[in-house]
Amino acid sequence: MDIRYSCNQRDFKRYTTAETRAEFLIEKLFVPDEVTAVYSHVDRMVTLGVMPVGDAVPIDKGIDVWHNFGTHYFLERRECGLFNVGGAGTVTVDGVAYDLGYKDCLYITRGAKEVVFASEHPAQPAKFYIVSAPAHCSYETRLIRIADAAKKPCGSPETSNQRVINQFIHPDVLKTCQLSMGMTVLESGSVWNTMPAHTHERRMEVYFYFEVPEDQVVFHFMGEGDETRHIVMTNEQAVISPSWSIHAGAGTSNYTFIWAMGGENQAFDDMDGIATTDLK
C-alpha cells in the first residue's frame, strides 16, 4: 500500500511539478485482479481501486491490515463508499450480494468483515473506485443507484460550468459517521468544476476524474488561493486535496468526477469562498 504523508502549505510552495504529482496524484487505480490502495495521512483517508477480471477479489487482498491499520480487518474501525465506473459487477458484504451497474454507489458501514468484488462479464470488468474514512460508529450498509441520487443542477453555459451534482453518500440521503461522496457530471461544452473555488478547513477532499476522452486532459488546480499550482490529469486518476488547498478543475472537454470528503463536520455550506478574480 502506498502511504502519503501530510504536506503543509508553506513547504508546498517550493514543490516542483514532479514533487507535486508524487505527493498528491494517484496515477493508476485499476489493475486486473488486484487491490490498489493509497493511504493518506490527511485525515487518514484511504483511496482504493479494484478491477476483478478472472477472480473475485477481497478488499484486503495484498494489504497487511494489522501492520497498516492495527486492526483485525479493514473495516473494523472504518467506513467506505464505492462507485462502479466499469461493467456490471457485484459487491458481497458479509454474505449479502449487491449488484452495481455503471455509476451505482454502495455505502458500507463500519464493522463489515468480508467485502468481495466480482465482475459479471470478465471481458467487460467492473471497476470499483473506493474511498474509506475512519469511523467511530456504525449505521447501515446501503446501495444507492444513480437514478436515486439527489440531483442538484448548477452553473450555466455562459460560465462554462453547467453541471449536475449527484449526492449519494450525503446527509440528505443517508447517515454516515464522517464520509461524504457524490458525482458531478459536466454538460457538453462545460469544462469548469467547483467554481467559485473554496477551501474548507475542517474537511479534506479526494477527486476522481473519469469519462475524460483518451486524447483530452483535466487541469486540476490546488494550493492556497493566492498561490495556486496545477496537476495535469488523465482519465481514471485521483488527486488528494488537503483542507488548506482549493480543489477545482478545467478540462479540455467535459468530463465527470467523484468527490469524497472526510473531516470534522458534514455541513456543505461550511466553505471559505474565494472570488475568482482573487485567485493567483
115: closest CA among 133, 101, 102, 128?
A: 128
In the chain, the amino acid numbered 45 is: M
- Tens of pLDDT, residues 25-84: 999 999 999 999 999 999 999 999 999 999 999 999 999 999 999 999 999 999 999 999
Write phi, then psi, for 76 (nearest 5 degrees): -60, -40
Of all residues in the chain, what percent carry a pLDDT higher than 70?
99
Q: Which range, of 35-39, 178-182, 201-205, 228-232, averages the lowest pLDDT?
A: 201-205
Q: Cell numbers of 224, please?
A: 492556497
Cβ atoms of 90 and 117 closer than 8 Å: yes
152 confidence band (pLDDT: 50, 70, 90): very high
Read out DSSP for 200-256? Answer: -TTEEEEEEEES--TT--EEEEEEETTEEEEEEE-TTEEEEE-TTS--EEEESS--E
Q: What is the CATH number of the domain that holds 37?
A: 2.60.120.10
Question: Is pLDDT above 90 for 213?
Answer: yes
Containing 18, the helix (H) or strand (E) segment is helix 17-24
- The region, left, alpha or beta by phi > 0 then psi within -120 to 50, assigned to residue 33 is left
- Tens of pLDDT, residues 74-88: 999 999 999 999 999
DSSP-assigned letter for residue 187 = P
- What is the per-residue burial (b if ≥16 Cβ within 10 Å, else e) of 45-58? bbbbbbbbbeeebb
Question: Is pLDDT above 80 for 269?
Answer: no
Using alpha carbons, list the distances in angstroms from residue 270 to 69, 120, 198, 232, 273.
30, 41, 10, 28, 9
DSSP-assigned letter for residue 27 = -
Cβ atoms of 91 and 104 closer than 8 Å: no
- Tens of pLDDT, residues 219-237: 999 999 999 999 999 999 9
The secondary structure of the chain in percent helix, strand, coil, rounded to multiples of 5, reads 10, 45, 50
190/156 Cα distance (integer angstroms): 8
270 confidence band (pLDDT: 50, 70, 90): confident
As a whole number, mean pLDDT of residues 265-279 equals 82
Containing 179, the helix (H) or strand (E) segment is none
255/218 Cα distance (integer angstroms): 8
pLDDT, residue 268, reads 67
95/83 Cα distance (integer angstroms): 19
262 confidence band (pLDDT: 50, 70, 90): confident
How many domains does the chain contain in total? 1
104 confidence band (pLDDT: 50, 70, 90): very high
pLDDT, residue 191, reads 96
Structural domain harbouring 94 = 2-278
Containing 212, the helix (H) or strand (E) segment is none
3-state DSSP assignment of residue 135: coil
Question: Is pLDDT above 70 for 265?
Answer: no
As a whole number, mean pLDDT of residues 129-146 equals 97
- The region, left, alpha or beta by phi > 0 then psi within -120 to 50, assigned to residue 44 is left
Q: Cell numbers of 222, please?
A: 490546488
